[in-house]
Amino acid sequence: MEPDSTRKVYDGSLLHLVVEQWGPRTREIVESPNAVAIVAVDDDGYLNLVRQAREAVRRELLELPAGGIEPPETPLDCAKRELREETGLTGGIWRHRAGFFTVPGFGRERMELFYAEDMERGEPSPVADESFEHVRIPVSDIPSLLPELEDAKTLVGLLPYLRDSGRS
Amino acid sequence: MEPDSTRKVYDGSLLHLVVEQWGPRTREIVESPNAVAIVAVDDDGYLNLVRQAREAVRRELLELPAGGIEPPETPLDCAKRELREETGLTGGIWRHRAGFFTVPGFGRERMELFYAEDMERGEPSPVADESFEHVRIPVSDIPSLLPELEDAKTLVGLLPYLRDSGRS
């Protein structure tokens, strides 16, 4: 699949917007960095989440640790970096679980989902531009937490985790 | 939560882009219509999906029927309209299951998820700008379908459906 033409209409610091012509169809498309999200369980059996101010939607959301890939790092390198920065977790056993498109109707973003288990605890080192709270929850409490989650990637990550672990 | 300032940098037909200042933080934010997605099961026990060309990600994806809300219609009105247009399904029993933000890191879009069961079959009436194929799958085949799904909203919709229906 290739467009007939592509025109960049906004060139920002994180986001870029292009208008593509596909035969009779005109498509406005957001370009943003590809990303990762991590279902991280530490060696005490706690799921590690972050509560973060999300300016775009005017509220704080409870989410999986996640972030944008900074080439040339691989998705796995990015996931380990983001998890260390946001929660202090290191080591552990890593597995790639899924890849998906977050908003294929208007954006290119692809997200890779990792499971990280038996992680060792340490000190977070948040970057200056972000403000968030590190939240730890016993894995057995995930089902009762689901109704209050409003972030798509967090739902995409935790629902298969419950299936895989037989906790659903 | 309110920004110190907002500046519109792109005003398109479907997408708009604003740059907001929140104290020291600058945020580029995509404004797009809020949306709905539907887990639709017909009276023969088939899940109804659509296979759709997604220009933004350069491939065809298998997805839940979905679409943008056209005010003043309500989310439920929108869901019934989109499902009728894309699959021909009408009637049935409707339930709102969840609401979530698709890309809260950079976009305002909120999506409402509906379950529609015992739907009556009819003729789709696709709008001219869209090209897609209507795909019916026995509900019992959903678990084996999951690994090939790459659309976030479809995963968010089907995973709780499996939990709720005890098929996980």
Residues of A annotated catalytic, as ranges: 130
pLDDT at B125 (0 to 100) = 83
Mean pLDDT by 10 residues, chain B (168 residues): 96 97 95 98 97 96 97 97 96 97 98 98 78 92 95 96 78
Give the closest residue to A22 by CA, choosing from A2, A38, A36, A50: A2
Task: Provide, as residue numbers in chain A, all residues whose Cβ is less than 8 Å from the Cβ of B12.
Answer: 9, 17, 19, 28
| Domains annotated on chain A, with CATH | 1-31 (no CATH), 33-165 (3.90.79.10)
| B98: closest chain A residue by CA | A147
**Residue B85 touches chain A, beta carbons under 8 Å:** no
Minimal C-alpha gap between B137 and chain A (Å): 20
Segments in B8-167 forming alpha helices (H): 75-87, 142-145, 152-164
Say if the Cβ atoms of B102 and A103 lie within 8 Å. Answer: yes
Say if the Cβ atoms of A20 and B55 lie within 8 Å. Answer: yes
Task: Work out the average pLDDT over A21-39.
Answer: 96
Cα Rg of chain B, angstroms: 17
Task: Provide, as residue numbers in chain A, all residues whose Cβ is less than 8 Å from the Cβ of B98.
Answer: 155
Give the closest residue to A39 by CA, choosing from A168, A131, A166, A164: A164
- State ipTM: 0.96
Minimal C-alpha gap between A121 and chain B (Å): 26
pLDDT at B168 (0 to 100) = 54
Does pLDDT of A166 surpass 90? no
A9 CB-side CA count, 13 A: 19
**Residue B28 touches chain A, beta carbons under 8 Å:** yes
pLDDT at B73 (0 to 100) = 97
Summarised one tens digit per residue, pLDDT across range A121-150 is: 998 887 766 678 999 999 999 999 999 999
* Window 113-142 of B, Cβ < 8 Å to A: 129
